[in-house]
């Protein structure tokens, strides 16, 4: 009974927090529509929608760094969230969007310029982060470098397309209301992310208790295991990543149903760039500034596993872009291919030794 309750309680919290994340991001999205109404289609999805739907990843990553006081555990969990979310975003969201577009007989022409633009930036960022992690030390300078990459990316987007004309119906009062929604959405998403991180931490412990379990006379409940990458990193990769990716999925579905294919597909790519350059690097930078650099060389197994999952993420991104390059229109093949890749990703999560053997062979 203690084991069952010790697992069910945190999972229930994760479910509730994921719903709250969606509510917060929806409020944020409503505000972003007003604040960024002049942005071109495609740019909106890659910036404002991406930022709004990626708020859970940012807050979750931030809290993992500062709640999991052991720096290597915090970084592995934060990185696990980003990697898991990145793979979900780039495979499941496009698969769902393409299925909706096919069902509604919408335009399926692949906007290669837009996808390759964001895809190349994404791969560059992933490789850059992999290089930073390879030496086993992560510093604030490296975190700032990723932040600069994102600033350059956003500046390029804002200057690469023609902005829409001003709309007299969008008054100053509406814009202020839009900013209000942005702030409220951030607060809700941040609180929900804190709940999700706490739940993941409880699951990772052998024994845990809180004031609210004591109210029910439950002093010690049993979690899933010890406090290390094998547990907390895996939980972050699967649970926190899945929960934090829900807003990305729903925002893209909404855009797809409206026929906004460019925004629907730019959102997951832009979200991944935001996750690596902001959601991961900003908390990382703040943590290293406050606590010095993070050193992983003392835990060779942890470092090796992080590198393997980073390599897997880069490979999946490359395969995603290659699958698009050879087609002019999206096909049912893309849906099957993306879902198959995601299934392989899940398989390798639970069979890390096989993944290590394949990577070492290559």
Domain ranges in the chain are 2-356
Considering the domain 2-356 in this protein, what is its CATH number? 1.20.1420.30
Backbone torsion region of residue 107, taken as left when φ is above 0, otherwise alpha when ψ lies between -120 and 50, otherwise beta? beta
pLDDT at 40 over 80: no
Alpha carbons 245 and 33: distance in angstroms, whole number: 20
pLDDT at 322 over 60: yes
In the predicted model, what is the mean pLDDT of residues 146-150? 89
Alpha carbons 252 and 263: distance in angstroms, whole number: 7
In the predicted model, what is the mean pLDDT of residues 250-256? 76
Are the CB atoms for 314 and 59 separated by under 8 Å? no
Ranges 288-292, 301-305, 314-318, most confident: 314-318
Residue 222: strand, helix, or coil: strand
pLDDT at 289: 83
Residue 138: strand, helix, or coil: strand
* 162-196 per-residue burial string, b: 16 or more CB within 10 A, e: under 16: eeeeeeeeeeeeeeeebeebbeebbebbbebbbbb
Ranges 18-27, 49-58, 59-68, 334-343, most confident: 334-343
Are the CB atoms for 119 and 269 separated by under 8 Å? yes
pLDDT at 179 over 80: yes
Ranges 6-15, 81-90, 240-249, 259-268, most confident: 81-90
160/289: higher pLDDT? 289
In the predicted model, what is the mean pLDDT of residues 343-361? 76
Adjacent-strand bridge partners of 295: 137
pLDDT at 31: 81
In the predicted model, what is the mean pLDDT of residues 330-345? 90
pLDDT at 170: 78
pLDDT at 1 over 70: no
pLDDT at 315 over 70: yes
Are the CB atoms for 221 and 5 separated by under 8 Å? yes
326: CB partners within 8 A, 6+ apart: none
Q: What percent of the chain has pLDDT over 70?
A: 75
334: CB partners within 8 A, 6+ apart: 94, 95, 98, 323, 324, 327
pLDDT-derived band at 227 (thresholds 50, 70, 90) equals very low
Are the CB atoms for 90 and 272 separated by under 8 Å? yes
Phi (first) and psi of residue 217, to 5 degrees: 80, 20
Backbone torsion region of residue 225, taken as left when φ is above 0, otherwise alpha when ψ lies between -120 and 50, otherwise beta? left
Q: What is each CA distance from 152 to 54, 65, 157, in whole angstroms?
A: 19, 26, 9
DSSP 8-state symbol, 137 = E
- pTM of the predicted model as reported, rounded to 2 decimal places: 0.76
Token look-up 């797809």 returns 256
pLDDT at 341: 92
- In this structure, the number of other CB atoms found within 10 A of the CB of residue 111 comes to 16
pLDDT at 311 over 50: yes
pLDDT-derived band at 210 (thresholds 50, 70, 90) equals low
Token look-up 């606590």 returns 291
Residue 94, token pair as written in the block: 């496009």
What is the sign, positive or negative, of the torsion defined by CA atoms of 249, 278, 243, 335?
positive
* 200-213 per-residue burial string, b: 16 or more CB within 10 A, e: under 16: bbbbbbeebeeeeb
């Amino acid at each position: 009974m203690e084991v069952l309750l010790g697992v069910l309680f945190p999972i229930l919290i994760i479910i509730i927090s994921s719903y709250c994340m969606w509510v917060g991001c929806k409020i944020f999205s409503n505000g972003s529509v007003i604040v960024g109404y002049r942005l071109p289609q495609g740019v909106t999805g890659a910036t404002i929608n991406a930022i709004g739907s990626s708020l859970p990843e940012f807050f979750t990553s931030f809290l993992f760094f500062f709640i999991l006081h052991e720096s290597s555990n915090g970084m592995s969990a934060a990185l696990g969230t980003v990697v898991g979310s990145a793979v979900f975003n780039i495979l499941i969201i496009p698969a769902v969007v393409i299925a909706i577009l096919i069902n509604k007989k919408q335009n399926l022409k692949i906007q290669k310029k837009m996808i390759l633009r964001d895809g190349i930036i994404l791969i560059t960022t992933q490789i850059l982060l992999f290089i930073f992690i390879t030496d086993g030390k992560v510093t604030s300078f490296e975190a700032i470098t990723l932040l600069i990459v994102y600033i350059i990316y956003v500046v390029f987007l804002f200057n690469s397309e023609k902005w829409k004309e001003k709309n007299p119906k969008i008054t100053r009062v509406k814009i202020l209301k839009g900013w209000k929604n942005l702030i409220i959405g951030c607060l809700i998403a941040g609180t929900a992310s804190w709940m999700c991180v706490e739940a993941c931490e409880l699951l990772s412990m052998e024994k845990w208790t809180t004031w609210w379990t004591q109210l029910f006379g439950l002093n010690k409940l049993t979690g899933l295991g010890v406090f290390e990458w094998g547990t907390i990193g895996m939980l972050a990769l699967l649970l926190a990543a899945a929960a934090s990716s829900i807003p990305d999925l729903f925002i893209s579905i909404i855009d797809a149903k409206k026929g906004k294919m460019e925004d629907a597909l730019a959102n997951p790519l832009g979200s991944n760039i935001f996750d690596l350059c902001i959601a991961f690097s900003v908390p990382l930078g703040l943590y290293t500034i406050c606590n010095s650099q993070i050193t992983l060389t003392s835990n060779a197994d942890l470092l090796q596993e992080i590198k393997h999952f980073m390599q897997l993420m880069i490979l999946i991104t490359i395969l995603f872009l290659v699958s698009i390059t050879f087609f002019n229109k999206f096909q049912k093949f893309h849906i099957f291919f993306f879902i198959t890749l995601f299934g392989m990703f899940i398989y390798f999560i639970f069979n890390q030794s096989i993944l290590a053997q394949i990577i070492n062979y290559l």
